[in-house]
């Protein structure tokens, strides 16, 4: 049995070597974050906001974003879209100039600030976050970056409850740009909800983050096969982890068909 056990050593080493970046992420983002939360009694999102307050220039969205990036790269990992995929978002927003933008999954407001900064003048952004603690941080970050309620509206609640009442309660007739960055298992359900409630404008862009890792295979399969979208996959790396490959799906809504 000792010989058998020894035979597994190279296999184990190979597995460890291959998944070293994932293990490092797990250690940094989950274990260390949890430990710091317990020791300090302050959640990491609040710690990030304190860093922003001390270092970011109020009213300067670009500076707010770069301060966030510094925090995530040097101090603690945050699951924000980050600067690399952020460039793709900015480019698409510039090209498409949407008047109405919807973000699912606000977290600390990084993506919200990035989107709001790249939208054309007069455009309106609705962002949805179910966790009240994250929403409280995001609200402060959005206002710190200089965006008022008439430009960016933060809606607290889970997407499945918020989407059906977006029109009546929040006045969103149709979204021309949707950024999905919440739980991957909700992507397909929420895309279908947006379709059912007629909330996607014809030609709308739906950008879905991290569809390869952690991954949203059913969403991708639906988007590619239902005939309502033109799909493109942008290969990138996971936020603040250049060694972990990731992908962003860009969907162009062709109409109900
Ligand atoms: C990866 S973070 C979003 C990052 C953010 N878009 C950014 O770029 O800074 C995912 C967020 O989705 C939120 N979330 C989870 N389930 C959700 C749902 N059903 N509807 C809306 N947001 C959800 C989580 O609470 C978390 O804050």
pLDDT score for 53: 97
For residue 155, pLDDT over 90 is answered with yes
For residue 242, pLDDT over 90 is answered with no
Judge contact between 188 and 216, C-beta under 8 A: yes
3-state secondary structure of 154: strand
From 75, 108, 135, the end of a domain falls on: 75
Residues 114 and 203 grouped into a single domain: yes
Per-residue pLDDT, averaged over 210-221, amounts to 95
| CA 15 – ligand 1 centroid, Å | 31
pLDDT score for 129: 98
* 103: region left, alpha or beta (phi > 0 left; psi from -120 to 50 alpha): beta
For residue 21, pLDDT over 90 is answered with no
Per-residue pLDDT, averaged over 73-87, amounts to 93
| CA 72 – ligand 1 centroid, Å | 17
Q: In the chain, how many H helices and how many E strands?
A: 12, 7
pLDDT score for 219: 98
Residues 114 and 193 grouped into a single domain: yes
Judge contact between 208 and 219, C-beta under 8 A: yes
For residue 7, pLDDT over 90 is answered with no
pLDDT score for 44: 93
Q: How confident is the model at residue 213 (pLDDT cuts 50, 70, 90)?
A: confident
Structural domains in the chain (count): 2
Ligand 1 atom, smallest distance to 239 CA: 8
Q: How confident is the model at residue 98 (pLDDT cuts 50, 70, 90)?
A: very high
Q: How confident is the model at residue 68 (pLDDT cuts 50, 70, 90)?
A: very high
Digit-coded pLDDT (tens) for 117-145: 999 999 999 999 999 999 999 999 999 99
Residues with CB under 6 A from ligand 1: 79-81, 104-105, 107, 110-111, 128-131, 134, 158-159, 181-183, 186
Residues 15 and 118 grouped into a single domain: no
Domain of residue 150: give its range.
82-253
Residues 14 and 92 grouped into a single domain: no
Starting at the edge strand found earlier in the chain, the sheet holding 175-180 runs 152-156, 124-129, 100-104, 175-180, 200-208, 241-253, 229-238
How, if at all, do strands 175-180 and 200-208 pair? parallel
How, if at all, do strands 241-253 and 200-208 pair? antiparallel
Q: Strand ranges (DSSP E) for the chain? A: 100-104, 124-129, 152-156, 175-180, 200-208, 229-238, 241-253
Residues 58 and 182 grouped into a single domain: no
Average pLDDT of the chain is 95
From 55, 75, 95, the end of a domain falls on: 75
Tokens of 235: 């290969």
How far apart are alpha carbons 211 and 208 in whole angstroms? 7
| CA 201 – ligand 1 centroid, Å | 23
pLDDT score for 99: 98
Digit-coded pLDDT (tens) for 157-209: 999 999 999 999 999 999 999 999 999 999 999 999 999 999 999 999 999 99
Residues 126 and 228 grouped into a single domain: yes
For residue 8, pLDDT over 90 is answered with no
Tokens of 64: 């707010």
From 33, 58, 75, the end of a domain falls on: 75
């Amino acid at each position: 049995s000792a010989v058998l056990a020894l035979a597994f050593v190279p296999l184990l080493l190979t597995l460890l070597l291959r998944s070293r970046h994932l293990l490092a992420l797990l250690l940094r983002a989950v274990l260390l974050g949890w430990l710091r939360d317990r020791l300090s009694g302050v959640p990491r999102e609040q710690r990030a906001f304190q860093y922003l307050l001390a270092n970011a220039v109020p009213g300067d969205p670009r500076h707010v974003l770069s301060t966030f990036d510094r925090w995530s790269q040097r101090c603690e990992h945050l699951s924000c879209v980050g600067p690399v995929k952020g460039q793709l978002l900015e480019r698409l927003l510039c090209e498409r100039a949407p008047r109405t933008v919807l973000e699912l999954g606000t977290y600390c407001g990084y993506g919200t600030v990035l989107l709001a900064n790249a939208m054309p003048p007069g455009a309106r952004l609705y962002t949805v976050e179910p966790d009240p603690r994250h929403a409280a941080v995001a609200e402060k970050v959005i206002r710190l970056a200089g965006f008022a309620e008439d430009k960016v509206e933060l809606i607290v609640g889970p997407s499945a409850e918020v989407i059906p009442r977006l029109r009546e309660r929040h006045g969103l007739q149709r979204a021309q740009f949707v950024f999905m960055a919440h739980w991957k298992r909700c992507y397909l359900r929420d895309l279908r909800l947006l379709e059912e409630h007629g909330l996607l404008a014809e030609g709308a862009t739906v950008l879905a983050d991290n569809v390869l890792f952690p991954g949203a295979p059913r969403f991708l399969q639906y988007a590619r096969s239902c005939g309502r979208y033109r799909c493109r996959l942008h290969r990138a790396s996971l936020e603040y982890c250049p060694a972990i490959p990731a992908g962003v799906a860009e969907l162009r809504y062709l109409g109900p068909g």
